[in-house]
Amino acid sequence: MSDALPCLVQVAVSTPAHSAVGDLLSYACAAPLAPGTLVRVPLGAREVLGVVWDAPAEPLPLPAGMAPRPVAGVLEGIAPLDAAWRRLVAFTARYYQRALGEVALAALPPQLRELTPEQLARRMRRPAVGAAAQARESATESVALSAEQAIAAAEIESNPGPFLLFGSTGSGKTEVYMHCVARALAASPAAQALVMVPEINLTPQLEARFRARFAPLYGEVAVVSLHSGMTNPQRLKSWLAAHQGVARIVLGTRMAVFASLPGLALVVADEEHDASYKQQEGARYSARDLAVWRAREQGAKVILGSATPSLESWHASSPEVGRYQRLAMPARIGAGELPRLRLVDMGQQPRGAVFSPPLLAAITERVERGEQCLVLLNRRGFAPVLHCHDCGWKSDCPHCSAHQVFHKIDRTLRCHHCGYAQRVPRACPACGNPDIAPVGRGTEQLEEQLAALLRNVITPGRRAARVARMDADTTRAKGALEEQLAQVHAGEVDVLVGTQMVAKGHDFRRITLVAAVQPDGALFSSDFRAPERLFALLMQAAGRAGRDAQYVAAQASPPEMWLQTWHPDHAVYAALRRHDYPAFAQQQLAERREAGMPPFAYQALVRADARTQEAAQAFLQAAADAARAAQLPGLEQVFIFPPVPLTVQRVANVERAQMLLESPGRGALQRFLAAWQPLLHAERARHRALVRWLVDVDPQAI
């Protein structure tokens, strides 16, 4: 080693996935660097961002004749990332079977990964806006809590948790969160709170409420957001504010769980049941589970909130397990009532009816009184497929084993898996028949049909009824979501048609009727979590109705949830009719206990993508055989299922297969997966047709 660079540091960098390069790389530097320091280092022909890591107890020797490359620069304007953040990253990488550097660098803002030390120094020289002076604690008590809210808040304040806040839709869970945040911030001038929601579309209204409450007390910069809908400069600004302690409250989606929060005192995961908390690319972490781990590790309190908790959280809060403390808030604020469920047996309705006559009459009556309605269909587009009745042709995607969805508004066929789009053909490409027809329904078709059915309906304002649609297509443009939500809140929309994105978290004050048009598909899914997801979706959707007790009291009839089904006697709908989540959860947990499913067992998926289905399954089978031959630790408690294709087995011309691993013990599964990694890397080198492979721990979809 050169005399000019006497120090050796271990740096976490993002290496290519499954490259089998070690977690930490050694670099030379002129002076010791504290763990957590951000540095620019050479990696191959590139210069990349790295994080100086804690030196291992026994550093690995450098290969003979190889000298460490020098650190290219230090980002001196940013204080080192603290030990708690590094422990979080290390745990995530270890538990979810990913490289340490991959997790560490993915947890940092994208723009930070690109800035040189000189560029960062120029940015840091810009004048910073300081937070407002500490306000009186009493100033945060601007809203009086109900009796149930006060009991829940008092329990959270006096006990360590973790807490599962089981509150019905409209029970005021957000107000409890805000009360607890206020108490945490008032307790210490350095305290910070992290509040997470599952989806970006829930952040605007949440940010507005938190900013209105806390910005006058702590300054505008004290409340920041972190989610993928922000620009890279915005994300960097929010991240720096949190890292420096200027931001007292961070609101965000799952990525926010990795925010650098030196003073973390409280973590909230709202709608904790939502599958969106599980990352589906790269390191497939669960932000909800990491929130619980991080809070415990940093000595912070954590609140998981939901009207329909995940069965894992419900089980953890049961008296026999007792890992979480369950707090119940069954009543709605203002003595409002939960919507009545009206089941419509579609077997008794006119053939081919999209909206049954009773439902259409109910929607018409509500609109004529000036009330708003919400229609739920969890499928966007106009129709799932175009079909030729002469020859049987369907609008299949040429690159995926899935149909292209018909979007009438721009006359395109679009694959929702790979993104391939093309114009709608004038005639059947196979036989020339000009009469090709849409089959099935999407939100676009529902919007069109409902607008036609309500064209003669007049509101109290003497105008025609207005129907709007909210889904991933209509909210794609920047600002479109906020604009649409504002229109609904202002009463400019009478009937809102949408996918699941409108069914959760939104506080629509004038909606008194919610209708689910085609919910039956999930009843018979091969995914054992499908009933849980359906119940949660429908109960959350029902919760959008009748949220303003005073408004409902002034109307002629109570709020309602209409559900059109071919299976009105199904157990899921029976529990939904009673708004009885505990009974539904008890029945589902009994079935899972008997079948040995989570939360009574632990699972991991190994997925392989290859040029052919045979190659993908051959890799998985060879990896399983290698594990058995090596008698890996924990193998005796791990059951390896045979490899099978995914439901959509080909996406973007890549074949996909998966293999399920199951174990009654989390520790045994983790020991097995850790020991299996070298064998998976070795098998990867032997299977040339393999494109990539990944391990998904605690998968949410099988």
Q: What's the pLDDT tens digit per position in 267-280?
A: 999 999 999 999 98
Fold equal for 336-380+442-593 and 602-697? no
Please tell me whether 180 is known to bind a ligand. no
pLDDT at 507: 74
| pLDDT score for 591 | 93
Angular region, 538: left φ>0, alpha ψ -120 to 50, beta rest: alpha
Residue 18 pLDDT greater than 70, yes or no: no
CA distances in angstroms from 675 to 20, 93, 463, listed in the order given: 14, 14, 68
Chain-centroid distance, C-alpha 122: 35
pLDDT digits (tens, 9 = 90+) for 461-504: 888 889 988 888 788 777 787 888 888 888 888 999 988 888 77
Residue 281, pLDDT > 50, answer yes
- Rg of the Cα atoms in the chain: 27
Whole-angstrom CA distances from 75 to 234, 408, 679 are: 19, 51, 38
pLDDT of the residue at 5? 64
- Highest mean predicted confidence (pLDDT) among 15-24, 133-142, 171-180: 171-180
Residue 284: the pLDDT is 93
pLDDT of residue 7: 83
Structure-token pair, residue 347: 């077997």
The class level of CATH for 7-124 reads: alpha beta
Of 25-34, 116-125, 129-138, 544-553, the one with minimum mean pLDDT is 129-138
CATH fold label, 336-380+442-593: Rossmann fold (3.40.50)
Q: Which tokens belong to 538? A: 């429908």
In this structure, which topology does domain 137-333 adopt according to CATH? Rossmann fold (3.40.50)
Exposed, middle or buried by CB within 10 Å (0-12, 13-18, 19+), for 455?
exposed
Using the predicted structure, report yes or no on whether residue 304 has a pLDDT greater than 90: yes
431 is in an annotated binding site: yes
Which whole number is the average pLDDT over 52-61? Answer: 76
Average pLDDT over residues 660-686: 93
pLDDT at 63: 63
What is the pLDDT, as a whole number, of residue 127? Answer: 54
pLDDT, average across residues 50-67: 75
pLDDT of residue 411: 87
pLDDT bucket at 514, cuts 50 / 70 / 90: very high
Percent of the chain with pLDDT over 90: 51
Query: In sequence order, which residues have a C-beta less than 8 Å from that of residue 113 and are 6 or more positions away?
Result: 48, 49, 105
- Report the pLDDT averaged over residues 168-193: 92
State the average pLDDT for the chain: 88
Residue range 564-589: mean pLDDT, rounded: 90
Give the per-residue pLDDT at 58: 67
pLDDT at 93: 94
Report the distance separating Cα 56 and Cα 10, nearest Å: 8
pTM tops 0.85, yes or no? yes
The answer to the question of whether 29 is labelled as a binding residue is no
Predicted confidence band at 616 (pLDDT cuts at 50, 70, 90)?
very high
Q: Please provide the CATH number assigned to the domain covering 602-697.
A: 3.30.70.100
> How many other C-beta atoms are found inside a 10 Å radius of the C-beta of residue 565?
20
pLDDT: which is higher, 663 or 378: 663
pLDDT score for 673? 95
Q: What is the pLDDT of residue 142?
A: 59
Q: Is residue 140 very low, low, confident or very high in pLDDT (cuts 50, 70, 90)? A: very low
Residue 56 has pLDDT above 90, yes or no: no
Q: For residue 294, give the nearest of 218, 228, 222, 196 by alpha carbon.
A: 196
The pLDDT of residue 511 is 87
pLDDT tier, 164 (very low <50, low <70, confident <90, very high otherwise): very high
Distance CA 18, CA 25 (A): 16
Q: How many CB atoms lie within 10 A of CB 126?
A: 7
Report which listed range, 5-19, 104-118, 597-611, is most confident: 597-611
647-659 pLDDT, tens digit each: 889 999 999 999 9
284-296 average pLDDT score: 96
- 418 assigned ligand-binding residue: yes
Point out the least confidently predicted range of 254-263, 271-280, 409-418: 409-418
What pLDDT was estimated at residue 335? Answer: 64
Residue type, 391: C
User: Per-domain residue ranges for the chain?
Assistant: 7-124, 137-333, 336-380+442-593, 385-439, 602-697
Q: Hey, which bits of 466-584 come out as E strands?
A: 467-470, 495-498, 511-516, 560-565
Q: How confident is the model at residue 85 (pLDDT cuts 50, 70, 90)?
A: very high
Q: Name the pLDDT band for 288 (thresholds 50, 70, 90).
A: very high
- The pLDDT score that the predictor gives to residue 472 is 81
